[in-house]
Amino acid sequence: MKFKWLKLTAVYLGLFIFTSACTSMCSKSHEQMSPEDVVEAYLDTAFGMTDVSQRIDLARYTTGLLRDIILSAKEETIRKAYIDRKYKLTAYAVVERQDRTPKEVEVTFQISYKVLGDKNSPVADEKAPSIQTENTLQVIKVNQKWMIAEVLGKATSIDFPLEGVETITPGDGATSDPVPAEPTEEESAPAPN
């Protein structure tokens, strides 16, 4: 019995080491990511969040005011937007890229989701209305990394798809989480047109 436990532990440990090694070797570093990769990584992170502290992971892909908004939003607002979802994501994809300068691009993505209601009036998945939105992001190069700087046009992904919740602005909340280093002002400014 003891031998079987040791053997099982060794197998799990081996799988953990292999998975960790593959994850670090198989995935791209932020410096190697294209603007589209950064947007997809942000969306993957946003739609996979299970804890408010993961806002730090979102901030790693953003800069400027958008970054400040994410880091200073109230925990309740982050929880409602990303953790206690009232929607079911059905699909998302980058649909267009427009290069503005060598250090500034616009990336447009679509999100499709079903509105499931709330705990007082839930809606069955098969009866839930389907919504498709399209947003465009300004992505700029900062310190050799592409970073999301601004949401152009429609609602930001931070308040998607919150209904009846205040708009998030810098300083609405505070976090005691460690904050990733902010790029310098000169490096985060978009290139002139």
The DSSP bridge partners found for residue 78 are: none
Residue spans of beta strands (DSSP E) within the chain: 87-101, 104-115, 130-142, 145-152
Joined together, the tokens standing for residue 160 give 């998607």
Domain ranges of the chain: 30-188
- Residue 124 is predicted with a pLDDT of 85
Is this structure's pTM higher than 0.75?
no
What is the C-alpha to C-alpha distance for residues 102 and 49, in angstroms, rounded to an integer?
32
DSSP reduced 3-state for 95: strand
- Residue 74 is predicted with a pLDDT of 87
Calculate the CA dihedral of residues 21, 22, 26, 27 and round it to 10 degrees: -70
Which residue in this structure is represented by tokens 């400014």? Answer: 189
In this structure, the number of other CB atoms found within 10 A of the CB of residue 146 comes to 25
Q: Are 167 and 126 in contact (CB under 8 A)?
A: no
What is the C-alpha to C-alpha distance for residues 15 and 72, in angstroms, rounded to an integer?
38
Which CATH fold topology does 30-188 show? Nuclear Transport Factor 2; Chain: A, (3.10.450)
- Residue 154 is predicted with a pLDDT of 64
- Residue 64 is predicted with a pLDDT of 92
pLDDT along the chain (193 residues), means of 10: 41 35 57 95 90 93 90 87 83 94 94 82 84 90 94 56 42 43 50 50
